[in-house]
Amino acid sequence: MLEQTVTIVANERDTDQYFRLVLRAPQIAPRIQPGQFAHVRILPLKEALLRRPFSIFQVAGDTFSILYKTVGKGTDVLSRMRAGEELSVIAPLGHGFTVPPSGGETPLLVAGGYGMAAMFLLAQRSPQKGIVFVGGRRRVDILCEQEFAALGWEIRVTTEDGSHGEKGLVTQPLLAEIRNPKSEIRNHKLFACGPTPMLKAVGKLAEEFNLPAELSMDEHMCCGVGTCLTCVIPVKAGAAWEYQRTCTEGPVFDARDILWEISK
Ligand SMILES: Cc1cc2nc3c(=O)[nH]c(=O)nc-3n(C[C@H](O)[C@H](O)[C@H](O)COP(=O)(O)OP(=O)(O)OC[C@H]3O[C@@H](n4cnc5c(N)ncnc54)[C@H](O)[C@@H]3O)c2cc1C
Ligand code: FES
């Protein structure tokens, strides 16, 4: 983990409220593992003390990128920054996904909205290809479909308004695949990143069908490095349970360990 001032190489709109930010960070880029995040201080923001966490989307040479949605003050100010300006980042942070080994279970990636950002490196670095289930409210919430297809992954799209792919929630085609007696896939492993209700639904499916699953939890964070305890979730610990920090023990957890019934 490094704290560095890095330079913006590009910051371009992707679709609607989504932007792609490319940062030159030669010391950070080679250390990044799939599912890790960067904690970004947006220097022009007046309340700059509080950093914002973003999954690391892609790594290329001495750069890494972030795919973000503008939702509030920080991301709005970030979206107006231009190439050549600087940001302070702490990265790479957190415990990421386990890259599926070749010949192991077939990975089923499940992403909602900007959750796709956490999935790209996993898909790119996984020798075992599988299926990406991507969901969003509208067509514009379906991100980087072509880039996943170019990696050789099958993509199944759902939108809540039916404007692209199947109408409904992302867990519908996932359930259909798990239940499909004609599917050539015998052993599945689920990996998910997206809004908490989606993660909970994926966790319940994993439990019901006794499938291994890794979930990247989306909790509000302050320090991002394990000291403030803002981001804790209840996790099984032997016969008991304990709070663990999503910024350090997570954001990726084994679905079997998450105690949804005690969660905030
Ligand atoms: C591990 C992790 C990885 C993330 N990766 C990405 C990513 O790849 N791309 C991306 O666009 N966003 C990502 N987020 C969410 C991102 O951190 C927030 O959207 C961002 O901090 C909002 O900052 P803001 O100042 O614009 O909004 P604020 O003004 O702080 O808040 C605006 C709205 O966003 C909500 N919000 C703030 N933080 C979160 C959060 N963690 N989850 C859900 N809602 C939030 C607030 O409740 C409020 O409704 C990630 C969050 C975590 C914890
Ligand atoms: S955000 Fe401070 S401990 Fe996790």
Domain 2-93 bears CATH identifier 3.20.20.70: no
Give the ligand at the shortest distance from the Cα of 46. 1
Report the SS3 class of residue 71. Answer: coil
Write down the pLDDT at residue 221: 97
State which of 50, 73, 75 you would mutate to test the pocket of ligand 1, scoring each by most atoms of that ligand within 8 A of its C-beta.
75
Q: Of 49 and 148, which is predicted with more confidence? A: 148
* Number of other CB atoms surrounding residue 211 within 10 Å: 18
The number of angstroms, rounded, from the C-alpha of 89 to the middle of its chain's C-alpha atoms is 18
Query: What architecture does CATH give domain 100-208?
Result: 3-Layer(aba) Sandwich (3.40)
184 alpha carbon – ligand 1 mean position (Å): 38
Q: If you take atom 41 of ligand 1, which residue's CA is the nearest one? A: 220
Question: Domain map of the chain by residue range?
Answer: 2-93, 100-208, 217-264
Q: What is the pLDDT of residue 204?
A: 96
What confidence category does residue 161 fall into, taking pLDDT thresholds of 50, 70 and 90? very high
pTM comes to: 0.95
Could you read off the pLDDT of 9-47 as tens digits, one per residue? 999 999 999 999 999 999 999 999 999 999 999 988 876
Is 251 near ligand 1, meaning CB less than 6 Å away? yes
| Burial letters 64-103, b for 16+ CB under 10 A, else e | bbbbbbbeeebbebbbebeeeeebebbbbbbbbbbbbeee
How much of the chain, in percent, has pLDDT values that exceed 70? 98
* Ligand 1 centroid from CA 79, angstroms: 14
Burial of 250 (0-12, 13-18, 19+ CB in 10 A): buried
The closest-lying atom of ligand 2 relative to the alpha carbon of residue 226 is 3
Split at pLDDT 50, 70, 90, the class of 264 is low
Nearest CA to ligand 1 atom 23: 74
- Which residues, at least 6 apart from 117, have a Cβ–Cβ distance to it below 8 Å? 54, 55, 56, 57, 66, 67, 68, 143, 193
Confidence of residue 57 (pLDDT cuts 50, 70, 90): very high
Q: Distance from the CA of 52 to the center of ligand 2, in angstroms?
A: 12
Instruction: Grade residue 151 by pLDDT with cuts at 50, 70 and 90.
Output: very high
CB 216 within 8 A of CB 55: yes
Task: Give the per-residue pLDDT at 46.
Answer: 76
Adjacent-strand bridge partners of 134: 111, 157
Residue 48 is predicted with a pLDDT of: 63
Measured CA to CA, the distance from residue 261 to residue 241 in angstroms comes to: 12
* Domain 217-264: CATH architecture, name and number where available: Ribbon (2.10)
**213-216 and 188-193 beta bridge pairing:** parallel
129-155 average pLDDT score: 95
